[in-house]
Structure 1
């Protein structure tokens, strides 16, 4: 463990070296000659996770493979399970979905061979990630609970924090505020026991979201203060632990702070506006030259354009939106949802400035990116359905093999029973035959003795007749008595023969054994694919016209689409699924629409839409 102790000193004890990137520190520790294979695997997993959260997926996967090789060579299957989870998570992040089912199965089989609570927790968490990718939240919930149960008292705060964070995310999508707070608290509690400050930053952000639910329920200042308290804790990690928190996580915290200042404070609050602009600028500054950070930079520019729009600084609005557009063009392929928002913002801006040529240009781009987004989602859905099919097929094969093995065991048991009964029956027949043979010999011997006795008796009778004629009468009486005895013996022998025949008949009879062979095969396919269609014009023909007339600022097509969903009384989770966005984005859009419609904070948007006539 000396190498790990040295790493800790390098990260916290040396002022100059601590300012370097965490990856440099980990690579230095891995390269030390006296680093054990176990420690090297742990360090490689930390390095791979650093690459993954920074979206450097190629490096993350290469590091995970190196870690797996070392762990398997040392026969350390628990560490190998952790490395397999890193590889699986990296492939999902890189959208390389073709092999994630096979990889998750490999992770599960490796964990079963390791047969440790921690390895099984990592394996079940890997299954949860698989089903999260396939958009099956119930299965994600199930495997997260299995992972927690597998650990029992063998706690690993790192994986426990990740599991609770997944449970928090599921309940956030379900809009379950109570569960969001419960699981965010448990995730933070475990993350505080680790030295993974990126994970800790995410958990602080989760707690701010949990308090946002409370604020939306009661609008109390305490809840709003808690939102900013946890965001401040997340933001301070960057300066408190230099070099150990990745820039991407820090930028996300800054974006969240800027967004909350924009949403929850009055446009006339100069301090809030100054803070919002400060954190939006800080987010894009810290991600300058960082790979795969276009979405966050574009989001920060979008916030800055909203602040410029409040102050009627049209040149800045145009500059920020164009910069966001050019930033997104550097991402290949671009994240279409963000690109659509940016181009739509530019189209609306130019339309408001009566620059119809540019407005048409960017509106055409909106349509183009919307079409590409749809194609991408369709291809992704097809790939996920193929993975689901392969997963279900593999599960059915496993069930079939188990059932066939069970049936074979039942047949073997029946065959064994039949063999035992047959042997016992043959043994019984042999002993019965031996008994009858012995009885037959005894009977023949007895008859022979009786025959000899009869001959002797006749001889004695003749001698007695010649010698004792006077006793003839007595001899006749004796002869009669002998005849009676012979008759009795004959009757006795016939009775015994009858008993033997009856016994033979009973032994010859027997019940037949009927064997049944059971084979069960079941295959189940879910193929659930529903597609919502907006038919609001058939329900309320003047809906959009009335909505535009009452709006103080022009509503975008996305705004109108969201209003239509709300008019149809869909909840946040359903709308997020139909629009392929997060529930948090839907709530932010609701707030923006209320502003455009000139509604007060306490006014309910749903009631306003239902009241349109």
Structure 2
């Protein structure tokens, strides 16, 4: 069976913003004027090439190349970007995908220097379209969405036309991915933008895209015939629009494809009693395809007619349809061998079913001959694509390397700037810190001297108190020698001996305090962030010279419990853990 053209065929055809006669006349008028900007003339020349693509493709390509040359001469980057992107489309129509890729790369390069956001969006859209043609749907969607973002705030008719176009492309991509929800979302947005643009080509293709969405949904749920009816409804709306605005439709080949797809719906999903409907839409497709020289549509139309005859076991008529289709495309050198091979395969199938094995073998040999040519062409195309991918990857790697090097240079410059600034700031901070430390050192020395004087006074006072106390104790001892109360006398004598022993220790302690390193108190305060009170310092001094809690309590005439609390408080101020030895920490500060 000759299969119908895939939906990708619809993607090869895009819309424009004027009707065929209007655009060619108005663009020719722009080119003939002596006034007007070089940019506008370059764009007009590229639009003229696009408008005449179905009239004379070779002539359209020449016009497009003239637009590029003119843009270069006049140094208009907007015109150059638009012209290169237009040539991308023309080369794809001429089955020169590799050449189209080269021109699209040039369009992207020119777009980096372009200033018109609409033209930059057009270039991005054409890149997405080309990636879609190549089957790289991930890249295609990325480029199309980028173009969509660029056009987001633009609402003029041409921008709306571009929006309708790119939404249609995205919908078609999701149709291939079997994502009906996304397909529906973008198809409806395409229709909304087409209504805003007001151009019949946009509206016609938007109707067809929504019809395809309903058909895709039906193919997932064939029990829901309402989906099939909706698909036919939108296809018929597209065909009706062609009848009403035939003179304003720029690319009638899209109408031929829509008519063919409508015939295919009747052929695939309706009984044989709808044969008249199939013939009706095939005739519409054939009539338009012959005018636009669309050989693929012609071959598919005759293939479908042959299938109907084959269902009715009318092998002679089925073969006749295929021969007619082959004769119509045979004289066209541009027709691909793949189309001829499909026709030959269908003819071999008809001959085989009719029982004519000799004729079937002859057709099959011709089919193999065409298939071999198709294989050679595809092999060459794949080789070219691989070579193109290699060069593209090489160019991309080079661009990436240069970009990375540029970024490294920028980062190095910033690093040198930051480093220089940091050094200046660091030197300033060091100078400020030095002054601060110098002042702090002088202040600590003053505090140290004051604390030392205070301790010396405390020691002197303590010495005098001890001497006075000793005199009292000696007097008590003399008086206690009278044997009036032996028990009391012994207790008093024991207390006196204990105090005298402590006084001897005190003399040693006084010498120890006198030998304390001068930096001991400042180091201690630094460790405690200057939070130690004079009483804390006194406790630390007593701890340093080796007094235990009881001895310190006696000296200060307080309870030993208070000394334990004081030790806990000092450990906390010094940032010590509960299990750390306070004596060892304090003695570590008394070192030169």
- The match for 2:384 is 383
Check the 8 A contact 1:97/1:383 in 2, yes or no: no
Q: Which runs of 5+ in 2 are unaligned?
A: 1-16, 428-592
Distance 2:379 2:163 in 1: 34
Specify which structure has the bigger relative contact order, considering alpha-carbon pairs within 8 angstroms and separated by 6 or more residues.
2
State how 1:7-406 maps to structure 2 within 5 Å. 25-26=25-26, 29-30=29-30, 33=33, 36-37=36-37, 40-41=41-42, 43-52=44-53, 54=54, 56-69=56-69, 77-155=77-155, 156-216=159-219, 217=221, 219-245=223-249, 246-267=251-272, 269=273, 272-288=274-290, 290-291=292-293, 293-332=294-333, 334-406=335-407
Equivalenced residue count is 406
Offset at residue 186 of structure 1 (A): 1.5
Which digits, 9 at most, give the CA deviation of each residue in 1:160-187, with x for residues without a partner?
Answer: 1221122112111112111111112112
Aligned partner of residue 192 in structure 1, secondary structure: helix
Which digits, 9 at most, give the CA deviation of each residue in 1:341-380, with x for residues without a partner?
Answer: 2111111211222222221111111212222222222221
Distance 1:408 1:23 in 2: 50
The root-mean-square deviation of aligned C-alpha atoms, in Å, is 3.3
Check the 8 A contact 1:255/1:300 in 2, yes or no: yes
Check the 8 A contact 2:31/2:44 in 1, yes or no: no
Distance 1:69 1:193 in 2: 34
Offset at residue 330 of structure 1 (A): 2.5
TM-score normalised by the chain length of structure 2: 0.62
Distance 2:22 2:384 in 1: 35
Which digits, 9 at most, give the CA deviation of each residue in 1:499-537, with x for residues without a partner?
Answer: xxxxxxxxxxxxxxxxxxxxxxxxxxxxxxxxxxxxxxx
- The match for 2:457 is none
Aligned partner of residue 114 in structure 1, secondary structure: coil
State how 1:463-474 maps to structure 2 within 5 Å. none
Check the 8 A contact 2:195/2:203 in 1, yes or no: yes
Offset at residue 399 of structure 1 (A): 1.6
Which digits, 9 at most, give the CA deviation of each residue in 1:177-236, with x for residues without a partner?
Answer: 111111121122222333543343222221111001222225333222211111111112
Higher alpha-carbon deviation: 258-267 or 64-73: 64-73
Which digits, 9 at most, give the CA deviation of each residue in 1:322-347, with x for residues without a partner?
Answer: 11122332233533433232111111
Check the 8 A contact 2:31/2:45 in 1, yes or no: no
Give the direction of change, closer, same or farther, for the CA distance of 1:220–1:424 in structure 2 (3 Å limit): closer
Check the 8 A contact 1:26/1:47 in 2, yes or no: no
Offset at residue 101 of structure 1 (A): 3.9
Q: Which runs of 5+ in 1 are unaligned?
A: 1-10, 13-17, 427-613
Offset at residue 414 of structure 1 (A): 5.8
Aligned partner of residue 193 in structure 1, secondary structure: helix
Give the direction of change, closer, same or farther, for the CA distance of 1:23–1:145 in structure 2 (3 Å limit): closer
Offset at residue 65 of structure 1 (A): 3.1
Distance 2:182 2:349 in 1: 39
Give the direction of change, closer, same or farther, for the CA distance of 1:412–1:320 in structure 2 (3 Å limit): same
Which digits, 9 at most, give the CA deviation of each residue in 1:555-587, with x for residues without a partner?
Answer: xxxxxxxxxxxxxxxxxxxxxxxxxxxxxxxxx
Distance 1:24 1:78 in 2: 21
Give the direction of change, closer, same or farther, for the CA distance of 1:289–1:415 in structure 2 (3 Å limit): closer
Which digits, 9 at most, give the CA deviation of each residue in 1:406-429, with x for residues without a partner?
Answer: 333445556667888999999xxx
Offset at residue 310 of structure 1 (A): 3.4
Check the 8 A contact 2:132/2:173 in 1, yes or no: no
Give the direction of change, closer, same or farther, for the CA distance of 1:66–1:170 in structure 2 (3 Å limit): same
Distance 1:23 1:252 in 2: 23
TM-score normalised by the chain length of structure 1: 0.60
Distance 1:274 1:107 in 2: 48
Offset at residue 55 of structure 1 (A): 7.8
Give the direction of change, closer, same or farther, for the CA distance of 1:362–1:290 in structure 2 (3 Å limit): same
